[in-house]
Amino acid sequence: MNIDFSTDTTPSPATDFDQRVISFIKDWLDESATVKVQTSGSTGTPKIFEIEKERMWHSAKMTCDILDLKTGDSALLCLPVEYISGKMMVVRAVERKLNLIIKAPSINPISDLNEEIDFCAMSPLQVENSLEKLHFIKNLIIGGAAVSETLKDKIRQSLKSNISKSKVYETYGMSETLSHIALKEINPNTEDYFIVLDDIEISLDQRGCLQIFAPQLNPEILITNDLVDIKNGKEFKFLGRIDNVINSAGLKIYPEQLESLVKKEMDNELVFMGIADELLGQKSVLIIEGQENPEVIQRLKKIEFPSKNHRPKETIFIEIFPRIPNGKIDRRELTEMVSNVLKK
């Protein structure tokens, strides 16, 4: 289904997902000052809260402005409309009067795409399964989870082979910031730091975690659990979540950094986590998705870690990682699975 917001016509829904999109559009256009949004549950118990439409409109305008989207441009919606990511795609289309192409969320939502579109937002899992079609998207933002170094290389190679000038960005944000508040370019340039959008201020709290002040999006200063390095007051590098940090023999190990390092050498999804250890306090354990593979173990041995203490003390294979509905790894359930494996 397509909805061209530069006209006054709305087509009839053909699928259940179309119906959910139409339902949200009606909620957005009614007289209520707020809409209900569901959190993903990736960092806590899923919850539903109400967000002021005016703040969502400001967020949509910021994104459309920075990507230079114009009335009549095309946008593709392929994210769940229950979450802020899908809702904001609709709001951007309404705000900028875009032609919205609606595809039910799947791991390969653009498999039948054969024409250029101006804008799309996808999860890393969707991008991983859509590489051969990415050159049709002029502006792609990727969110919902970190983009691995391996996936970044695949994106660049795919676009290079198709002689594409597509702009691809990794995003940083959360439900409370109404989608993203910062972008990091993956293609055609490669950036190491996220750059925050206009009218957003960032700082560190006493733990070294990111604080966000975005008065047009949220009236409160948002305190995250994300450890970051800030540069120039407008750029930051994500180091890892403070609740994921592994304290091993007095050494602080950031799992996300080790995950990025190892993913340069293998395609498997993987997670580092700290497991209680009588001698070290916590020991670093590497969990790899898939069946146990001697070749993967050999590649792991060749990786140069920052120190011998950063090298995992144990490696565990789990055939399929648990995931929450938006595709992120469910670290809490994975921790339970690993604990059960270690008890055997």
Which residues of the chain are in CATH 3.30.300.30 domains? Answer: 245-343
Q: What is the pLDDT along the chain (344 residues), one digit of tens a residue?
A: 999 999 888 888 889 999 999 999 999 999 999 998 876 655 555 678 888 999 999 999 999 999 999 999 999 999 999 888 999 999 999 999 999 999 999 999 999 999 999 999 999 889 999 999 999 999 999 998 888 888 899 999 999 999 998 999 999 988 778 889 999 999 999 999 999 998 899 999 999 999 999 988 888 899 999 999 999 999 999 998 898 899 988 898 999 999 989 988 888 889 999 988 888 889 999 999 999 988 888 999 999 999 888 999 999 999 999 987 666 788 889 988 988 888 76
Pick the CATH number of 2-241 from 3.40.50.2000, 3.40.50.2300, 3.40.50.12780, 3.40.47.10: 3.40.50.12780
Would you state the pLDDT for residue 325?
67
Q: Name 49's Cβ contacts closer than 8 Å, sequence gap at least 6.
A: 36, 37, 39, 175
Strand partners, 231: 235
Structural contact between residues 330 and 145, judged by C-beta atoms closer than 8 angstroms: no
d(CA 258, CA 312): 10
Which residues of the chain are in CATH 3.40.50.12780 domains? Answer: 2-241
Would you state the pLDDT for residue 94?
96
pTM above 0.85, yes or no: no
Pick the CATH number of 245-343 from 3.30.70.330, 3.40.640.10, 3.30.300.30, 3.40.50.720: 3.30.300.30
d(CA 270, CA 10): 44
d(CA 82, CA 302): 43
d(CA 318, CA 169): 30
Q: Which amino acid is at 320?
A: I
Q: What b-and-e string marks burial along 94-116, b requiring 16 or more CB atoms within 10 Å of the CB?
A: bbbbbbbbbbebeebbbeebeee
Would you state the pLDDT for residue 41?
55
Structural contact between residues 40 and 325, judged by C-beta atoms closer than 8 angstroms: yes
Spatial CA neighbour of 288 closest among 305, 253, 307, 312: 312
